[in-house]
Amino acid sequence: MGQRSQIYIRITDDYNEKPTLIAKYFQWNFAERMISRARYGMEYIKDCAEYLSSDTVKERISKIFDVNFDMKDVALSTDIIKEWIEYSSKYYGLEEVNDYIFNAQDNNDGKLFIDVDEKGNIKYCLTDYDMQILSPKQYMDWDFENWQNSEYLDKEDVETCKNNIKYINKNATQMTNEELQEFISYDYSKQIIEMAEKLKIEIKKQETIELEAEQSQDEIDMCG
**Alpha-carbon gap, residue 34 to 51, rounded angstroms:** 25
pLDDT digits (tens, 9 = 90+) for 101-160: 999 999 999 999 999 999 999 999 999 999 999 999 999 999 999 999 999 999 999 999
- Candidates 31, 4, 23; CA nearest to 78 is 23
**Alpha-carbon gap, residue 173 to 218, rounded angstroms:** 55
Confirm if 25 and 80 have CB atoms less than 8 A apart: yes
Domain of 157? 5-223
**Alpha-carbon gap, residue 212 to 35, rounded angstroms:** 45
Confirm if 32 and 38 have CB atoms less than 8 A apart: no
Please check the confidence at residue 171 and state whether its pLDDT lies above 50: yes
Percent of the chain with pLDDT over 90: 84
Instruction: Give residue 204's pLDDT.
Output: 78
State the CB neighbour count (10 A cutoff) for residue 50.
11
Instruction: Give residue 1's pLDDT.
Output: 47
Q: Cα dihedral sign for 110, 74, 119, 56?
A: negative
C-alpha distances (whole Å) from 210 to each of 19, 200, 215 are: 30, 22, 9
Please check the confidence at residue 165 and state whether its pLDDT lies above 80: yes
- Candidates 59, 2, 8; CA nearest to 37 is 8
Q: List residues bridging with 112 in a β-sheet.
A: 7, 126
State the CB neighbour count (10 A cutoff) for residue 103.
10
Confirm if 34 and 112 have CB atoms less than 8 A apart: yes
φ, ψ for residue 200, nearest 5 deg: 60, 45
Strands 5-11 and 20-26: antiparallel
pLDDT digits (tens, 9 = 90+) for 34-53: 999 999 999 999 999 999 99
The model's pTM is: 0.92
Give the burial string for 106-135 (b: 16+ CB within 10 Å, else e): ebebbbbbbbbeeebebbbbbbbbebebbe
Look at the chain and report how many structural domains it folds into: 1
3-state class of 87 per DSSP? helix
